[in-house]
Structure formats: structure tokens, C-alpha cells
Amino acid sequence: MIQVGYETLCRRAELVALRVEDIQEDGNGGARILIRRSKSDPFGDGRYGRVSQAALEALKCWLQQGKIKSGFIFRATNNGNVTKDGLHPYAVNRAVKELALAAGFDEGVIADMSGHSFRVGAAQDLMTSGKSILAIMKAGGGGR
């Protein structure tokens, strides 16, 4: 979930709304995923986010292990069983903080982390790699 959020620059609400039916493999190992609607898309035109081969393989593994064939990609688990309901956006925050804690991050750093952290981090990484502001805005769903 984190890798897909980072690569697509999804907001947490966009991330938990992603659906299996909207994954389109690109023939080069990666895929694009339709992000149906966001707060910067008032008309519901949607946009496509790209994911790498590594992210696509992780997604396929999750879908296979969870026996998910349609509907929401990211779902809660209950006693080891994957539910049919999509995650709530707040669950993204919890996942980010739990993973940061498991990775040994300082508690002060973890307190500042949220479901928005990978979106911000991806934008910063794109800027560092030399992408223009306009390209970053477009990748994140703005600057149409």
C-alpha cells in the first residue's frame, strides 16, 4: 500500500478507493491505475497513476493472498481473513505509523508522519531528481 501510494502520489482517500478493475498492465512490467476522483478533481474526470514492476508484483501478491478478484484493492483483515470492505482513510495513517515504529524510527518522527507522508516524500524526491513543478503537480493530480 505504501509503495503504491508513493508511486501514484495518491492522497489517503484516493488510495483506499483504488479498485482491482482499474489496474491496467502496461506491457513493460508496470501498470497504470485509475484514480477515479480526488479533491483536486471536482468534475470526477479521474487520472492515471503509474506503478513500477515492483509495486505491481506486490499488488498481485496481495490480491492473490487475499483472494481479491474485484472491488477495493486495500482492505482490512480480521483474524487473518481479508474483509470485503475497503479501508478507511485513517487506516492508512495507522499503517504508516506502525511500519515506521517497526522500522525503528524515532517516536518524534513517527508523531509527524501520516497517510500524506508518502505523497509529500514522493513530490520531494521528484523535485530532487530534477522534475519540474508542473510535472510534479500533474503526477499528483493537479496542474491539469
Q: pLDDT confidence of 143, banded at 50, 70, 90?
A: low
Dig out the grid coordinates for 3 from the structure. 509503495
d(CA 57, CA 54): 5
Residue 124 lies in a domain: yes
Residue 8 lies in a domain: yes
Per-residue pLDDT, averaged over 36-61, amounts to 86
Per-residue pLDDT, averaged over 38-56, amounts to 84
d(CA 90, CA 68): 22
The CATH number covering residue 128 comes to 1.10.443.10
Residue pair 141/9 in contact (Cβ under 8 Å)? The answer is yes
Residue 15 lies in a domain: yes
Lowest mean pLDDT across 4-18, 98-112, 113-127: 113-127
Overall domain count for the chain: 1
Beta strands 47-51 and 75-78: pairing type? Answer: unpaired
Residue pair 75/62 in contact (Cβ under 8 Å)? The answer is no
Give the domain range for residue 48.
2-139
Residue 57 lies in a domain: yes
CA dihedral 11, 12, 16, 22 (to 10 degrees): 10
Dig out the grid coordinates for 59 from the structure. 499488488
Q: Is the pLDDT of residue 133 over 90?
A: no
Residue 22 lies in a domain: yes
Residue 95 lies in a domain: yes
pTM value is 0.84
CA dihedral 113, 117, 118, 122 (to 10 degrees): -130
